[in-house]
Amino acid sequence: MKTLRPYPRATITSKGEHALEKGHPWVYEAEVVSLEPAPGEAAVANGSIVDVVSHKGSYLGSGLLSEKSKIRIRLITRNANDRFDRAFWKRKVQWAWNYRKTVMGADASACRVLFSEADGFPGLVVDRFEDVLVAETLSVGMERLKPMIFPALLEVLAEDGIAIRGLYERNDASTRSLEGLAQTAGWFAGAAEDAACSLDPINPSQPEAAVFGPTTTQIMENGVRYEVDFENGQKTGFFLDQKYNRRAVAQLAAGRRVLDCFTHTGSFALNAAHGGAEYVNAVDISELAVAQARKNAQLNELDGKMDFTAANVFDLLPQLEAAHNRTYDFIVLDPPAFTKSRKTIDSAARGYKEINYRAMKLLPRGGYLATCSCSHFMDTERFRRVVSYAAQDAGVQLRQIEERQQAPDHPILWGVPETDYLKFFLFQVV
């Protein structure tokens, strides 16, 4: 680069350069040849914004440095004219919010507002649940920048007439340790101090609840109302990515007897009941999740045709098969990610095959199956093979109704396979 820039500078290998040119925003530890401090500085601080250049000195982008992670730099821009002030981050927030309004419409009242690399905020996700934002920060760079980004987010929403009572941080994921970050959770205090937020300034003598309100809220999705416990629920409190897949299940559920496995807080089960199912049994290993699912059913006056079971699905399905239980003609399999690394992909494949095989053995001819995987390591082709092998072993043939993916508020960025993670299939057993 000919112009002297006020940022640290990382020179990377040809392999790293090639990956960036193909669209991926990550530079790995082994791809960094050298790291030079900014002009006049003695060292490079962890979490800093650094320029990334080729071995010839050509500018490739700027990103966030993570000293403790194998992903050493995550790009935030490829434009050398960008300056990383508050206006830069507010502009990126505005682009992300404009996109959600366009693709989600009225459903933007409960949606993912920022989706990490897919929106240029690597290591940060923010979900909106009506009047609450819930954030998960997983990179040291975003941790340093959140005092600038979060107020900008509140400001963008306020300018659109949206009142947010608080932003809650769910920074209790174990993966934060890979970045050298502590696990924490609680309200972001800066939300109450920012002029764009309608809250009164924090009074240190007041408990957080007196300022921000309860750590639950209600949302409406596909005509179903949910209470979201964003303090105790998994991840940010509710899985928004299956929104339209749940609606697809509801459209097939009328008059059917549905078994919803790994129900979490009852979302697929409630959509099936709302869609006119004759009977629904919602199953999850977590007593807390089952209690929340039951509460959501009561909230929608659907509990009269629903049962809730706290059980391990891997135990329950064989038990139903052994009992020759043919109660259900529609089974939904929405398990958590069975693998979070390539090292355990074979074990995960066995788990996916097992539950699909068991479900197919339970279903009558003409029955329906919804099955999915939310691990990006289990790519679509491999998941297809797993389901196909399960069908062969179960002695059934599958007629595919539909193949789906995550809702568009979780956009897939081409060149970044990590953003393409949710596989969802609807089948009829024939």
Tens digits of per-residue pLDDT, 163-193?
A: 999 999 999 999 899 899 999 999 998 754 4
372 has catalytic annotation: no
* DSSP reduced 3-state for 46: coil
List 332's β-bridge partners, or say none.
Answer: 260, 370
Q: How many CB atoms lie within 10 A of CB 143?
A: 21
Q: pTM here?
A: 0.92
The residue annotated as part of the active site, out of 197, 261, 372, 374, is 374
State how far the alpha carbon of 203 is from the alpha carbons of 108, 150, 212, in Å: 32, 20, 11
Q: Is the pLDDT of residue 2 over 60?
A: no
Instruction: Tell me which residue has tokens 């300034």.
Output: 201
Q: Is the pLDDT of residue 413 over 60?
A: yes
Q: Is the pLDDT of residue 227 over 90?
A: yes
Burial class (CB in 10 A: 0-12, 13-18, 19+), 284: buried
Q: Please give the order of strands across the beta sheet that includes 26-28.
A: 26-28, 71-77, 59-65, 49-53, 9-12, 32-36
For the chain, helix (H) and strand (E) counts, in that order, are 11, 20
Q: Smallest Cα–Cα separation from 267: which of 234, 296, 307, 237?
A: 296
What's the rounded Cα separation, in Å, for the pair 175 and 183? 9
Average pLDDT over residues 209-236: 91
pLDDT number for residue 189: 86
Amino acid at 46: N
Q: Smallest Cα–Cα separation from 408: which of 96, 109, 100?
A: 100
pLDDT number for residue 341: 75
Torsion angle defined by CA atoms of residues 310, 313, 318 and 323, in that order, rounded to the nearest 10 degrees: 30
Tens digits of per-residue pLDDT, 69-95?
A: 999 999 999 999 999 999 999 999 999
- Give the domains, in start order, of the chain with CATH numbers: 9-77 (2.30.130.10), 86-217 (3.30.750.80), 241-429 (3.40.50.150)
pLDDT number for residue 229: 92
pLDDT number for residue 197: 39
Tens digits of per-residue pLDDT, 347-390?
A: 999 999 999 999 999 999 999 999 999 988 899 999 999 999 99
